[in-house]
Amino acid sequence: MAESSPWNGQFSRFDLVARMGDRPPSIVQVGEVPIGAGFVVMAGPCAVESERQILETAEFVASAGARFLRGGAYKPRSSPYSFQGLGIEGLKLLRKARERTGLYIITEVMSESDVELIAEFADVMQVGTRSMENYALLQKLGGCGRPVLLKRGMTARLDELMHSAQVIAEHGNSQIIFCERGIRTFETATRNTFDIAAVPILKTVSHLPVIVDPSHAAGVRSLVPILACAGAVVGADGLLVEVHPSPEKALSDGVQSLNFAEFAAMMRDLQRYVSLDFSRPEAAEVKQLQLLVVGGNA
């Protein structure tokens, strides 16, 4: 870490993930998409609910410039009576969506016993906020052969997040992406408090890429595009956002999910701050889509 850093020594013990000396930022390569070299959008529903839902969403977010489809096949929920996901059937639907759209798949893994199964379907393995300190899971992910998106625990300090990344790296996997998704504070106006400073701090003290999840940070649909743009402004490498064809009917997190029109508008607004890749054939019609869905000038 550079001597001018005000955090000298605080993060250096995490030597595999800290930025030591002149080490450049790392790029996590997922197929043709480099995470850490440009702005990458990962979008989709909180949970895979049906074939129609996930395929419609995949096709739309791909046309609007997303490169990854997010969707939970296994869902950790606060209540055992809430929708828990479709399991293996959800994974199969995600694979079908990838085959149809070319999007890469990111989905959550909750247990070390599920790592090998989910790695057969996912391009990126997501560690949710409740699992950030599940060290048995993190150790298993060290040998999974897939990049890992590591979400910050809802009450975790940044050094604790770095510690969890170090565990994954110590067990053989350096392909790690940090995700700032808001932390729990005394504020109740939002679901969590978006720690905007976490992005530039992590990019200073670590060589790993950092993305933001404004959906879980806000918990309020109208705030999601604003926080997404804020993340882009402070240097995030990408975005993980919840999108659903009919949020009011969603089985999980509908209140914070964007509908298609809102997602298209957000992608249009993001272009003021970052460069989005519309070079793929399936994304070539995004301008017409934005005009059609949003009804404005794209």
3-state secondary structure of 165: helix
- Encode the chain (298 residues) as per-residue pLDDT tens digits: 444 567 667 898 999 999 988 889 999 999 999 999 999 999 999 999 999 999 999 999 999 999 999 999 986 655 555 556 789 999 999 999 999 999 999 999 999 999 999 999 999 999 999 999 999 999 999 999 999 999 999 999 999 999 999 999 999 999 999 999 999 999 999 999 999 999 999 999 999 999 999 999 999 999 999 999 999 999 999 999 999 999 999 998 999 999 999 999 999 999 999 988 655 545 444 444 444 444 343 3
Helices (H), the chain: 51-63, 88-101, 115-119, 135-141, 158-170, 198-205, 214-218, 224-233, 260-270, 286-294
Q: What is the DSSP secondary structure assignment for residue 150, as one 8-state letter?
A: E
3-state secondary structure of 185: coil
pLDDT in tens, 34-93: 999 999 999 999 999 999 999 999 999 999 999 999 999 986 655 555 556 789 999 999
Q: What is the DSSP secondary structure assignment for residue 152, as one 8-state letter?
A: P
CA separation for the pair 185, 208 (Å, rounded)? 26
CA separation for the pair 100, 139 (Å, rounded)? 33
Beta bridge partners, 106, equal 70, 124
Q: What are phi and psi of 61, to 5 degrees?
A: -65, -30
State the CB neighbour count (10 A cutoff) for residue 5.
Answer: 15
205 closest CA partner among 161, 172, 170: 161
Domains contained in the chain, CATH given? 28-294 (3.20.20.70)
Q: What are phi and psi of 105, to 5 degrees?
A: -105, 130
